[in-house]
Amino acid sequence: MNNTNKNGTTLYSSLLPIALLLLLILGAGYFLLRDEFNLEKVLSNEPEVRRLEGFPTVVNTDQNIDKQRAFIKTQDELDNFLKTVDPSGNLKLTENIDFDKEYLIGVTTKTLESDGTQIKVRKLYEDKEDNTLLVSLKQTEPGLNCVTTQQTNLPVDIVAISKTDHKVTFEVLKEQKACE
């Protein structure tokens, strides 16, 4: 942009301050959000995890059910998983799943005698060389000082992941919550 002053000379406004301000804003944004935004993950083929509404949850049951680790690729497999973990039929997904684009991972503990335990899909680790996907679960149990109620229940988590041909394996990290 140029302007002419009273003496007839031309003044040029520099875009340098605006460019510096823009760079400062972008730099500050990067440092504030760098843990939330992982460029390597965006550029990779790693499956994305999407939390489903209402999960993780706990199902009250009077049945003895073994722990479940399921890689769900069809609606029939989902129906069987839900029927296995909740024979009463109360547990339902509120979202429609497009199995042409996504698969589900469903996990539970075994039936527990008291409340306070939770299970959650924590993270996925992809091994491209072995074509495997490690699903890391976090199982949080009440500590010794926690007050619990005698109630048979089954902690459940289901997440959606982008469609993959990886072989899926699971690991459980157990943690005790501290209670006062």
Q: What is the pLDDT of residue 37?
A: 52
Q: Which of 105, 111, 100 is nearest to 61 (CA)?
A: 111
pLDDT (0 to 100) of residue 41:
43
- Cα separation, 50 vs 67, whole angstroms: 22
- The tens digit of pLDDT for each residue in 160-172 reads 999 999 999 999 9
pLDDT digits (tens, 9 = 90+) for 76-129: 999 999 999 999 999 999 999 999 999 999 999 999 999 999 999 999 999 989
167-177, strands of its sheet edge to edge: 118-127, 132-142, 167-177
Query: Would the pLDDT of 180 be above 90?
Result: no
Residue 3, pLDDT > 70, answer no
Q: What is the pLDDT of residue 165?
A: 92
| Confidence check: pLDDT of 8 > 60 | no
- For the stretch 13-44, pLDDT in tens is 677 777 777 788 887 777 777 655 544 444 34
Cβ atoms of 103 and 160 within 8 Å: the answer is yes
Contact 157, 55 (CB under 8 A): yes
- State mean pLDDT over 152-178: 95
pLDDT, residue 1, reads: 52
Its pTM stands at 0.73
